[in-house]
Structure 1
Amino acid sequence: MPCLSPGLIPREAVDSILAQPDCLELVIADGGSPDGSIGWFQELASREPRLRLVSEPDRGPADALQKALCRARGSLIGWLNVDDAYTPGALTRAVNALTDHPEWLMLYGEGEEFNRDTGLSQPYHTLPGSVGPGRFRSHSFICQPTVLFRRTMGLLLGEFDAQCGCAFDFDFWVRAFEAFPHRIGYLPHLQCRNPLQSATISRPQQAEVALENTEPLACHFGRTGVTCLQNIALDLQLGMAELPESDGCVSYLRELADQKRHWLTPDDFVNLQRTLLEQEILRPTQTQCVRWQPMNFYQRVAELVPFQQRPFGVNLIGHAFEVFGIGEELRMAARALQAAGLPCCVIYHAAANGSACSDRSLEPLLCTDPTGGPYAFNLVCMAAPIQARWLQESGCDPLRERYTLTNWPWETLQWPEAWLPLLQVADELWPFSRFTGKALEAPAVEAGRPLQVMPSAAEIPDPERFCSAPARAAARLRHGLPAEAVLFGYGFDLNSTAIRKNPMAALEAFQLAFPLPHLPATFGRECNVHPLSEHVALLIKTFPPQGFSAEWHWLQARAAEDSRIVLIAESLPREELLALYGCCDVFLSLHRSEGFGRGMAEALQLGVDVIATDFGGNTDFCSGPLAHPVRYRPAPIPRGAYPCADGHSWAEPDLEHAAELCRAVAARRLALAADPHAVDPSRNPAVLASYRERFSFAVVGGRYRARLEELWADREGVGARLRWRGDRSPVGW
């Protein structure tokens, strides 16, 4: 542990090291701190034989660490800074893994960054070693305190590079990956926690550290990408770094771009100038807005039928055929409109996200008229920026002389500033949930747009064919699932944002609730085997990943340790997906946010208990005897983790509480299975009818009809107030 004038900070770090049974010694390399500042170390060394203190001047943390390494007597080496902390059991897990894999020279695991002031945390952006050294161009994917390496590797690689200052560890990783690309192991377990802003690095040093990280890249790869340099500007914007004294932001970034020009390709340099010097990064709310292309909007004005003269009905716009969440929203809306007797057609826009276009049920409703649908109302079921893309491609004629309602999905309590201009293309907002409605509330008031929360339909026709006892048994047999176990299940789209869906938490909570003796201790704690541990299983269903996915790699690694966990990565027909949900006993959604929560809505209708984070659109309906809300704490969204959500927050579910609920529900389910006469809310007709009615096409369609008829009754007034008329637009071109 290198240190200089550590003060009171290292107590937690030192305690976390000495609490590890596998720690043979701790060498503190102090850089010659003034008398008194290392008194705690000296006092502890007098009574702790494993601690050795070396205090002498050095040339920085790399030099201090090298001195400690020379004095260390063990064959396996790790290091912590004074503000880091190992999780309990971290070294045991690492030593066991290195023992099992003698070919590995180095191992690293998962880390967690936290904010000491707020107590909030976020996972480190770790990737498995299989991604190769090229991924270092985007960021350092190794959390330093999680590393354990063999002394022999340190000798082969040579000393830490003291010229790198604070980036010497990054240089060490790159050298290790270049020298031993197939001899570095990855442990899919939380090994350490370290602060978001290290106490050893002040805010004015943050930009310097980011710059230093680019030097090893240039040295090892001949050039560096622009990501690290762009992140400096983002750190300045978010207050995570400070400008050098007396430098203005623009002049500092201009100097930076010129200084690092020799590291970049000509194209990268032009890109850097555009993003830094034109300040696109520094002013995202202005630069990420939709950039409309001028079009000849009036070429078909004479053909446009006025709103008041159009037939009463709805033009549905969106991803009609794609098998993913937003595509399903449109198909559900179509069936709800049909159930309410409302005429409708479908204007298809490709999602272009790799989803299978295999649900062709709405093909008979397809409208291909480039001027838009025939009916008086548009209902857009697309994400707001995707609607912008559609309008760029198709032009704005489909908006003219129609009253446009938007079902824009969103998953935080703030509407992205970059999307505010899109309110220009909406006459009224129809969010799926009160949660999304809350995010849109202030923008809607400011823009003068009516807002109506319109919950989505999620009806399952004849649900008993998916959840009857014979159907459950058949589905388990088809997918190789245990016949008698209490089955926990979760389904999500891996090609969406896994950090929001958080399937890793479902696995962690499951193993926390039902530990086994051979598993590494969850959260670093040794747990007694629970009586139900041999009677439960976990199913995680997703779509096949389109490319490399760190989350999928993590899930596979953890599932390989536990035979009770089954992973399915297939694009299943909808009926087979419902059969898979129906054969589960519990739907375990420890999401960080949901705009609506369709999987949970379907599970409740199938008589499946739902254990879910009490945050997001699912709070509208996760109530009653089958719903079990999980406590959470607010957490900031990591920068760049979710589109247009920097500075927003979502939920971090309480996994301890989730584990408690898992045990309680599993115990109840096993008791019911043993006693056929027991009262089972999952089979209570009144309970199931209540859930099913809430999401039925008839109920949702009735809400649609009521609002549309209200508007149609005042069609002269509505037509006069339309945003997009045949002879004018709400924006000036």
Structure 2
Amino acid sequence: MNDLEMPLVSIITPSFNQAAFIEETIESVRMQDYPYIEHIVVDGGSTDGTQEILKKYSDLGDRFRYVSEPDRGQSDAINKGLKMAKGEIIGWLNSDDPYLPRAVSKAVNALKEHPEWAMVYGNAYQIDENSKIMNPYPVQPFDRKALFQFCIICQPAAFVRKNIFETIGGVDETLDFCMDYDLWMRISKKYSIGYIPDYLANSRVHPDCKSVVHIVDKGFPEIIKSSIKHYGTVANDWLCHYLEHHSKIGVFWYLNLFKKYEILGSSPEVSEMNRYLDLWVPPNFRISIQSGLQNPPAILLIKGRNHILDNMSATVSVNNDSLQNYTIPKREFDIEIPLHSNVPNTVVEIVSNKHVVPSELGINSDTRSLSFIIEQVIPLSAEEYKFYKEFQKGPLYASAWLQKNRNPIPPAL
């Protein structure tokens, strides 16, 4: 390849308070054997010494540029860097990830040899905070079905043609965790993606990185949201991966998430209840549940706390039909109320035999009549209840149940 055939490559590095790693990242770009590289660092106004490190490289001229100013997060920084970029090929290298030698030249050669490819990616290692290799990233040759089942592309080992990056609108700034997975899905809808079996980069895993800190609370919901957006559903592989590796977050968290995205089909929902904003409930606690007739509510799960009253009980009725009495222990408690309702609107009343008025007891000025605290109110369909019971046995049981009973077929494939 002669000089006239060598395109400029723009490496974009979003950065915020990564002084411990960013110099290694910059040096990994500097040490590339490919001569036509511009490295753009978009820093969000770091206060940990990152800016002092960036200033050290200011004498590199066109090979290195940086801005440091408040931004709206990583996705905003990447799109800002994309607007600054002059190259034909874009590399996205986070401020704690380094390239391996000859990564850029291998990617450029692959894109030159395959003009039909919109992007190319290679293999990568996962490394720790001391740059020690932990294991290979689970990269696979590109297949859209495989991408549906898992993120088979390691972001620092990927290079995208700039015109493609711009055509699809850059990185989705509504995402804070899986913007790379979303990017690969969007590109793969319209364009070809290539793979080369060379190791191109290291992806760093350390206690403070976003992929560790927010892997469940932000990562999993964003993965589900993006997969449904682009494929119409989410793979069991994703669900089982999180269930098996992150079960400590608890079944109620998973139930609420699964209900939100209808992972197990249409789901009954609480339409109204008289629980107070501070989660206390009055002696007559009333809950209205809406559902479709095809997936009626089977069970109502109640998770609460009683830390005041002894010898407490509650009588439950469903649509004015009395069911049974429940003992309310003086501690945390869970109640499963069978519903088996075949009407669109189900009304559940829980009447307590005791209550307190805090102002009358001199506790505070609260004049409400209060019985106990209710943290979770979750109506479940029959399928959701089966999942709940399997989860109680253990996450592996829940995972096995999903694989056997849920069959997602993405219409987009």
Q: TM-score, normalised by structure 1?
A: 0.35
Aligned with 1:10 (options 22, 30, 35) = 22
| Residue equivalent to 2:147 | 136
The Cα of 1:227 is off from its aligned counterpart by 2.9
SS of 2:258's equivalent in the other structure is: helix
The whole-number CA distance in structure 1 between the counterparts of 2:22 and 2:82 is 19
Measured in 1, the distance between the counterparts of 2:148 and 2:50 equals: 39
Q: Paired residue for 1:51?
A: 64
2:208 maps to 1:195: no
Shift of 1:273: 5.9
Letter in 2 for 1:14: I
Structure of higher CA gyration radius: 1
Q: Quick check: which one's helix share is greater?
A: 1
Using a 3 Å threshold, how does the CA distance of structure 1 residues 116 and 282 change in structure 2: closer, same or farther?
A: farther
Tell me the SS of whatever aligns to 1:32: coil
Structure 1 residue 12 displacement after superposition: 1.5
Deviation at 1:256, TM superposition (A): 2.2
Residue of structure 1 equivalent to 2:103: 90
CA contact (8 A) 1:30 1:53 kept: yes
Q: Which residue of 2 aligns with 1:114?
A: 127
Q: Aligned partner of 2:138: which letter?
A: H
Which structure has more RCO (C-alpha within 8 Å, separation ≥ 6)? Answer: 2
Matches within 5 A, 1:558-569: none
1:47 to 1:109, Cα distance in 2 relative to 1, 3 A: closer
In the alignment, is residue 214 of structure 1 matched against residue 236 of structure 2? no
Question: Residues of 2 paired with 1:209 and 1:217: CA distance?
Answer: 12
Residue in 1 that maps onto 2:390: 278
> How many Å apart are 1:30 and its aligned residue?
0.8
Match of 1:346 in 2: none
Alpha-carbon shift at residue 231 of structure 1 (Å): 2.3
**Structure 1 residues 259 and 41, CA, compared in 2 at 3 Å: closer, same or farther?**
same
Deviation at 1:259?
2.2
CA distance in 2, matches of 1:226, 1:185: 25
Per the alignment, residue 175 of structure 1 pairs with 186
Structure 1 position 149, deviation (Å)? 1.3
> CA 1:229–1:136 in 2, change beyond 3 Å: closer, same or farther?
same
User: Amino acid of the residue matched to residue 253 of structure 2?
Assistant: Y
**Is the partner of 1:8 in helix, strand or coil?**
coil
* Bigger fraction of residues in strand: 2
Question: CA contact under 8 A between 1:108 and 1:143: conserved in structure 2?
Answer: yes
Which of 134, 158, 165 does residue 147 from structure 1 map onto?
158
1:71 Cα deviation (Å)? 0.4
Query: How far apart in 2 are the matches of 1:162 and 1:278?
Result: 37
Assess, with a 3 A threshold, how the Cα gap between structure 1 residues 128 and 54 changes in structure 2: closer, same or farther: same
What is the aligned residue count?
274
Matched ranges for 1:353-502 at <5 A: none
Once residues 286 and 264 of structure 1 are traced to their aligned partners in structure 2, the CA distance between those partners, rounded to angstroms, is 16
% same residue: 27
Partner of 1:81: 94
Q: Counterparts of 1:107 and 1:230 in 2: how far apart (Å)?
A: 29
Cα distance change of structure 1 residues 216 and 284 upon mapping to structure 2, 3 Å threshold:
closer
**C-alpha displacement at 1:119, in angstroms?**
3.4
SS at match of 2:71: coil
- Give the equivalent residue in structure 1 for 2:47: 34
Q: 2: distance between equivalents of 1:272 and 1:110?
A: 39
**Residue of structure 2 in register with 1:498 after alignment:** none
8 Å contact from structure 1 (residues 253, 277) kept in 2: no
Change (3 A) 1:257 1:70: same
1:330-364 Cα deviation digits (max 9, x unpaired): xxxxxxxxxxxxxxxxxxxxxxxxxxxxxxxxxxx
Aligned partners of 1:5, 1:202: CA distance in 2, in Å?
A: 15
Check whether the contact 1:230–1:276 (CA below 8 A) recurs between aligned residues: no
- Specify the code of the residue in structure 2 equivalent to 1:58: D
Aligned-pair CA distance for 1:253: 2.3
Contact 1:110 1:188 in 2 (8 A): yes
Listed one character per residue, the Cα deviations across residues 572-608 of structure 1 (whole Å, up to 9, x for unaligned) are xxxxxxxxxxxxxxxxxxxxxxxxxxxxxxxxxxxxx
2:116 counterpart letter in structure 1: E
Instruction: Find the aligned partners of 1:113 and 1:230 in 2 and give their Cα distance.
Output: 22
Equivalent-residue separation in structure 1 for 2:58 and 2:129 (angstroms): 27
Q: Secondary structure at the match of 1:46?
A: helix
- Given that 1:9 and 1:83 are in contact with CA atoms closer than 8 Å, whether structure 2 keeps it comes out as yes
Change (3 A) 1:121 1:272: farther
Name stretches of at least 5 consecutive residues in structure 2 with no aligned partner.
1-12, 268-294, 296-380, 401-413
For normalisation by structure 2, the TM-score amounts to 0.60
